[in-house]
Amino acid sequence: MAGQGVQLIPSPEEIMQILKRTGAFREGHFVYPNGKHTAHYFQMPLAFRYYDTARVLAVALSRKFRVERDVASQLPKVSIISPSSGGIPVAFGVRDALSAEQIFWAEQESGKRMFRQYINQGEINPCIIVDDIIRSGHAIEETVELVKSLGAPIIGCGAIVRFTSAPDNVDGVPIKSLVEFDEHFFDTAADCVECKAGAPEERVRF
Ligand SMILES: [Zn+2]
């Protein structure tokens, strides 16, 4: 680990080592609820169950925002927003590292993404949206729409891991990540390399 005064960001390889060590990243043969097959599985809360690991990941992500002039100039009057429960530990960690003033998280209610808290127009600071992992980008995009509907500008967006198949920006704001992962999904068992190899499959959820 770098010393407190050294603003180093761990390399993607170092981040992947952390994810492997904590079980947040596994290799094998996995089948998702949508029927897709893949050789990798991310379950990010397993990395965030350890305080020290959660802190390393969140501080690293926060450094990618702090160097942005648009963010640095507006701190501490910034909101950190999580699109879902998985992003909440990331949001708290990034908020802490940046000393940002506000934190909000969205939830799915009746299929619609919304804030549970009572938020009125103008009460929300310029926003940084953070999540643990961006697979398709849908959660981030829905959260962008939600934040825009509240009249708040989005000044940053990021995740610990972003699949390279996901968007690399939202509304012109680049998505920052500690790892860019080139995930490959097989649409059917017939296409799947692991199935062809006869590897036992494990059914997983997102
Ligand atoms: Zn398969």
Q: What is the DSSP string of 109-166?
A: ETTEEEESS---TT-S-SEEEEEEEESSSHHHHHHHHHHHHTTPPEEEEEEEEEETTS
Gap between the Cα atoms of 200 and 28, Å rounded: 9
Distance 51 CA to ligand 1 centre (A): 34
Distance 25 CA to ligand 1 centre (A): 18
Distance 38 CA to ligand 1 centre (A): 7
Q: What was the pLDDT predicted at 140?
A: 94
Q: What was the pLDDT predicted at 109?
A: 84
Distance 63 CA to ligand 1 centre (A): 38
Neighbours of ion ligand 1 (CB under 5 A): 37, 192, 194-195
Q: What was the pLDDT predicted at 2?
A: 45
Neighbours of 206 (CB within 10 A): 11
Q: What was the pLDDT predicted at 51?
A: 95
Q: What was the pLDDT predicted at 1?
A: 47
Distance 47 CA to ligand 1 centre (A): 26
CB 87 within 8 A of CB 131: yes
| DSSP conformation class of 67 | T
Alpha carbon of 131 to those of 47, 111, 134, 156, 194: distances in Å?
Answer: 13, 19, 7, 12, 29
CB 143 within 8 A of CB 113: yes
Distance 17 CA to ligand 1 centre (A): 25
Q: Which residue has the tokens 């997102």?
A: 206
Q: Which residues pair with 128 in a beta bridge?
A: 80, 156
Q: Which residues pair with 181 in a beta bridge?
A: 163
Chain centroid to CA 47: how far? 12
Strand pairing class (169-170; 202-203): unpaired
Chain centroid to CA 90: how far? 7
Residues found in the chain: 206
Residue pLDDT tens, the chain, 206 long = 444 545 689 999 999 999 999 999 999 999 999 999 999 999 999 999 999 999 999 999 999 999 999 999 999 999 999 999 999 999 999 999 999 999 999 988 888 888 876 676 668 899 999 999 999 999 999 999 999 988 899 999 999 999 999 999 998 999 999 999 999 999 999 999 999 999 999 999 87
Distance 110 CA to ligand 1 centre (A): 32
The CA R_g of the chain, rounded to the nearest whole Å, is: 18
Q: What was the pLDDT predicted at 206?
A: 77
CB 140 within 8 A of CB 133: no
Q: What was the pLDDT predicted at 192?
A: 95
Gap between the Cα atoms of 28 and 114, Å rounded: 35
